[in-house]
Amino acid sequence: MPSKVPDGQRRGWIIPIGGSENKENDRRILERFVSVSGGEDADIVVIPAASRMHETGSRYEQVFRDIGAERVTVMDFDTRRDCHETGRLERLDQASGIFFTGGNQLRLTTLLGGTPVAKLIRHRNAHGVTVGGTSAGASILSEHMIAAGDEGSSLIAGTVRLAPGLGLTNRIIIDQHFRQRDRLGRLLTALAYNPFAVGVGLDEDTAVFISPEEILEVEGSGGVTIVDGSDVSHSSIDKVGDGQPVCMLGLRLHILIAGATFNLNTHLAAAPGLQQSKE
Amino acid sequence: MPSKVPDGQRRGWIIPIGGSENKENDRRILERFVSVSGGEDADIVVIPAASRMHETGSRYEQVFRDIGAERVTVMDFDTRRDCHETGRLERLDQASGIFFTGGNQLRLTTLLGGTPVAKLIRHRNAHGVTVGGTSAGASILSEHMIAAGDEGSSLIAGTVRLAPGLGLTNRIIIDQHFRQRDRLGRLLTALAYNPFAVGVGLDEDTAVFISPEEILEVEGSGGVTIVDGSDVSHSSIDKVGDGQPVCMLGLRLHILIAGATFNLNTHLAAAPGLQQSKE
């Protein structure tokens, strides 16, 4: 379960990005990340631990500085022991925004899972700090994380592997590079196991900004596929073997673009500039 | 609009198949086609006009004979003039089942569209004759036909081209080879233009048997993706240019496997052996 928000306080923004967000001529996603992290006063910690490429952290450091964040620090982790180190914890405790780069989400969870760093990030988000990430860094934000899976648009048993994520929210299951890597099938399969969650499929250069009120708003140039399992009447995934098609009835599907919203409390979707509507 | 069913008569079955149906060890789709065409008394006309491969028609002729149909005739059409020829029309008028092979659906519609053969097939289906087809032969059965489109799972303006089909039903838009050729995106795009129809995405070796009561039942080894646009509250396809993502809210999505049903009148889906349910 996500950390409890203290009385009188607001949860921080949660910002999963679908990967390959524009860092050059139209940086609206990263600009808005800085904006909801304090704007000119933003103090951002970039965690590039998912990536094995040396330049990943410094690239984001430069972009966030260019956008106008007051302070940016790249904080890497090579071992789980690093996640107990006091200096890093103190620096994280100062941040107004925490950003996970892309890479391999299992590298992030195996390094950070259950450590003081993971606990602190959950705690800080519950106290108003913005936490976001792109690609693998988006996947890990939720309680139930897609660790791996097959490409394809169909619901086939055994095509997805779930693992525990960082757990900032347990209402959604996130997938990224969604259109580009054809991942609807594995997202549907994840929901077939337990339809309680809302599936959020993020195209590249596309993000959802989840507000403290748990209203998700799309930003960026692509689409976001919302698969709402809350009215599912039947899933046969308990009865079929791996590789077999699965029967699932009663999903609700919304295709959102920039400015469209989905309310995680009421499950109402709304077009840009329009009233929220369940149907 | 489909031909009117006379008082006291029942419409015939309509059977779109997703392509590559098993013709060897497990022929359950083609066997059931023969069964609803009269079983041992079945009189089947195979129309291979979509295909340019010479052996297509005779292959189906052999399979339908092996299954036990009493009479099977391959009837090809090379020109629109052939579709006015009295001998062919008389033979078609005797058939209890009419089957379109795969190939190119635009070849079928350009040859048959508006000719006496097309009118007769519509008329015969309205008087109880079974009409089915596979792949291109499935696509043409409906009033609005997907003529061509792009691969991919996302709703992108301009990724699909519609054309008028044979028009046995106007309640559905059919797509085939659905999982294998990754066609959800173009089916969603087709619905975005006018959400009145129900999208039916047929995997290979998978069919829907649409009964005279307009209840669709799945047969075969794959899945059928039902996208019900009847509750859509918003589609932005009128406002975006080709290649741009489209916003569409309030779709209902059902993934069906063999034995599951969808009622085209009530829009209720049901799992194999279960009650129908809208949610």
pLDDT tens digits for range A38-73: 999 999 999 999 998 889 999 999 999 999 999 999
Mutate to test the interface with A, among B151, B155, B218, B253 (most CBs of A within 10 A): B253
d(C-alpha A152, C-alpha A68), whole Å: 40
Cβ contact B233–A277 (<8 Å):
yes
pLDDT at B278: 46
pLDDT at A163: 92
pLDDT at B279: 43
Q: How many CB atoms are closer than 10 A to CB B79?
A: 9
pLDDT of B277 higher than 80: no
Q: Is B275 a member of any domain?
A: no
List strand residue ranges (DSSP E) for A127-275, in order. Answer: 130-134, 144-149, 160-164, 172-175, 198-202, 206-210, 215-220, 224-228, 234-235, 248-256, 261-263, 269-270
Mutate to test the interface with B, among A150, A151, A153 (most CBs of B within 10 A): A153
Q: Is A9 a member of any domain?
A: no
Check if the beta carbon of residue B134 is closer than 8 Å to that of residue B103.
no
d(C-alpha A138, C-alpha A126), whole Å: 18
Which pTM value belongs to this model? Answer: 0.88
pLDDT above 90 as % of chain A: 78
- B chain contacts of residue A236, beta-carbon cutoff 8 Å: 257, 271
Q: Is B112 a member of any domain?
A: yes
Q: Is B267 a member of any domain?
A: no
Question: B220 is in which domain, residue-wise?
Answer: 14-261
Q: Is B32 a member of any domain?
A: yes
Cβ contact B253–A152 (<8 Å):
no
Q: Is B274 a member of any domain?
A: no
DSSP letter at A103? S
Check if the beta carbon of residue B98 is closer than 8 Å to that of residue B12.
no
d(C-alpha B72, C-alpha B82), whole Å: 19
Q: Is B30 a member of any domain?
A: yes
Distance from CA of B262 to the nearest CA of A (A): 10
ipTM for the predicted complex: 0.82
Contacts of A54 by beta carbon, 8 Å cutoff, 6+ apart: none
Catalytic residue among A21, A204, A217, A219: A204
pLDDT at B1: 66
- A chain contacts of residue B188, beta-carbon cutoff 8 Å: 255
pLDDT at B42: 98
pLDDT at B274: 61
pLDDT tens for each residue of B105-159: 999 999 999 999 999 999 999 999 999 999 999 999 999 999 988 887 778 888 8
Q: Is B251 a member of any domain?
A: yes
Cβ contact B253–A252 (<8 Å):
yes
Strands B215-220 and B224-228, sheet pairing? unpaired
pLDDT tens for each residue of A88-119: 999 999 999 999 999 999 999 999 999 999 99
Q: How many CB atoms are closer than 10 A to CB A78?
A: 9
Residue B100 has phi, psi (to 5 degrees) of: -100, 125
Q: Which helix (H) or strand (E) holds A124?
A: helix A116-126
pLDDT of A214 higher than 80: yes
Residues across chain B: 279
pLDDT tens for each residue of B52-66: 888 999 999 999 999
pLDDT tens for each residue of A5-31: 888 889 999 999 999 999 999 999 999
Distance from CA of B118 to the nearest CA of A (A): 34
pLDDT tens for each residue of B66-101: 999 999 999 999 999 999 999 999 999 999 999 999
Number of domains in chain A: 1
pLDDT tens for each residue of A247-257: 999 999 999 99
B81 touches chain A (CB under 8 A): no
CATH of the domain at A264: 3.40.50.880
